Structure 1
Amino acid sequence: MARTIAKDHSEKRQQILSSAAKVFAEQGFDRASMTVLARECGISKANIYHYYDSKDAILFDILDTYLSELRDRILGVDLDGLSPDDRLRLVVQEVLNAYQGADHEHKVQIDALSALPEDQQARMRAYQRDMVRFMGECLRDVAPEVFTPDPAKLRGATMSVFGMLNWYFMWNAGAGSKERQDYARLVCDMTLNGVRGLT
């Protein structure tokens, strides 16, 4: 007879993912053990194996959940009726809002994505490419005369914006909404004032 899924299965799974992200971020994926994960989760190692058959499976689920939800949130921003400048501002703000509370997952993405098998890495990079493409479209619309004829310049500008955003968690771990709004404004002001000066 097949084992039934407990009513709190999703909550327990999320608890494991959150705890594992913290351990992987602080200790490194390679050094973390299932014993340490179980201790951090407050459950037995056998109970973890009820949900995941390996540390690698946990890593994949952390990154797949984090990046797919991040991608869906950013690409789901409603930009209808906004000017190009305001579209960029809204998207940058949403990226920083989405990062809030996800410092561990973000660090695991940077440090441990390469530990996944190639096919799983490709899936994660597809999520990342979707977000880069979306941000790039926002930037292109701000200065089409600069970026439309020069895709390499657009990519460089897009990755520069993400560079500023992706390192924010290192400078301001635990920053609140107001600090994130202020930083989003700074990033956009520098970007908007800079890209139109490109030749």
Structure 2
Amino acid sequence: MLQLYTILNIKFVRRYFMASPLNSNIKEKIVKNTISLLHNTSFDDITLAKIAKESNISKGTLYYYYNNKEDILFDIIDRYVSKLADDLLVWVENKEKDTSAPRLFKYVLERGAEKEYGNLRLYLIGACVSENTSLREKYVERYLYFKRNLTKKINERLPNFDGEYFAWLLLTTMDGILIQNQLNNPEFNSEEFIKKTVSFMLK
């Protein structure tokens, strides 16, 4: 009896203390590989089996962490939009950089409209508009987190300006630039547009 108790106790310790970092790593792997698949495949065409194969794990392991694709998308939204905001905070707190208002505006427009994750971002927006309410609420929640941080940084640099309005202006303009870039609109020059927009905003 004592031997059985010892074996069970060892299994308990392994599961709850040794497995925690591994669990986190597996979830990270699942999210990253789903994002990788989204670069070339519609989310509707991605199955849990494909995600498991791409992540080099069994379907049983995948189901342990995510019961459906929407839960994975939920985590992707959380990580992607949070990263935009966190990257902004890292950038503005860098004392070695020029983080004045013109540079701040330029950074936000360029960073948010870059093509690297353009397809992913457009898909997330589309999914949140057309899919279930919980996804939309999650995206808006993280978007507002980004907006609040941006408003704060604008107010620090331009105390006489309406920081919240300028934050919304930057974010909605950023979305528009992204759409034109993803369309490969031949008459749209994002670099020139951003330059003129920043100049106009600070007149």
Query: What range is the shorter-chain TM-score in?
Result: 0.5 to 0.7
The verdict on how the C-alpha distance between 1:168 and 1:14 changes in structure 2, with shifts beyond 3 A counting, is farther
Instruction: Work out whether 1:126 is the aligned partner of 2:149.
Output: no
* Counterpart AA for 2:102: D
| Corresponding residue of 2:57 | 43
Q: Is the contact between residue 20 and residue 37 of structure 1 (CA under 8 Å) also seen in structure 2?
A: yes
1:170 is matched with which residue?
Answer: 182
The answer (yes or no) to whether the contact 1:67–1:127 under 8 Å persists in 2 is yes
> How far does the alpha carbon of each residue in 1:29-66 deviate from its partner, in whole angstroms, 9 at most, with x for none?
33322122222223221121122122221111111122
Please name the residue that 1:178 is paired with. Answer: none
Matched pairs, number: 182
Alpha-carbon contact 1:136-1:158 (below 8 Å) kept: no
- 1:161 paired to 2:178: no
Contact (CA 8 Å) 1:143, 1:196: kept in 2 or not?
no
Mapped contact 1:16–1:41 kept (Cα < 8 A)? yes
Paired residue for 2:4? Answer: none
Provide the secondary structure at the position in 2 that maps to 1:8. Answer: helix
Distance 1:44 1:169, change over 3 A: farther
Q: How far apart are 1:25 and its partner, in Å?
A: 4.9
Question: Which residue does 1:193 correspond to in 2?
Answer: 199
The answer to whether the Cα contact below 8 Å between 2:108 and 2:170 also exists between their aligned partners in 1 is: no
Report which stretch shifted further, 21-30 or 118-127: 21-30
Supply the AA of the counterpart residue of 1:188.
I
Q: 1:9 aligns with which of 19, 23, 29?
A: 23
Which structure 2 segments of 5+ residues have no match? 1-10
Closer, same or farther in 2 for the Cα pair 1:129/1:78, shift >3 Å?
Answer: same
Q: Deviations for 1:46-99, whole angstroms, at most 9, x for unmatched residues? A: 121122122221111111122222222224432678542233234445446xx5
Alpha-carbon deviations, 1:124-175, whole Å to 9, x = none? 2022133345556777899999x74xx87x5774345313443376268xxx
TM-score between both structures, scaled by the size of structure 1: 0.65
Check whether the contact 1:136–1:155 (CA below 8 A) recurs between aligned residues. Answer: yes
TM-score normalised by structure 2 residue count: 0.64
Tell me the distance in 1 between the aligned counterparts of 2:20 and 2:119. Answer: 27
> What one-letter code is carried by the residue in structure 2 that aligns with 1:167?
I
CA distance in 2 between counterparts of 1:155 and 1:83 reads: 15
Structure 1 vs Structure 2 CA RMSD? 3.9
Higher Rg: 2
Letter in 2 for 1:125: V
Seq. identity, %: 19
For 1:169 and 1:36, the matched residues in 2 are separated by: 29
| Aligned match for 2:104, one of 87, 98, 101 | 87
Give the 3-state SS of the residue equivalent to 2:92 in structure 1: coil
Comparing 158-167 with 13-22, greater Cα deviation is found at 158-167
Instruction: State the distance in 2 between where 1:19 and 1:74 align.
Output: 25
Structure 1: runs of 5+ lacking an equivalent: 173-181
> Which residue is 1:111 aligned to?
126
Aligned residues of 1:25 and 1:107 also touching (Cα < 8 A): no
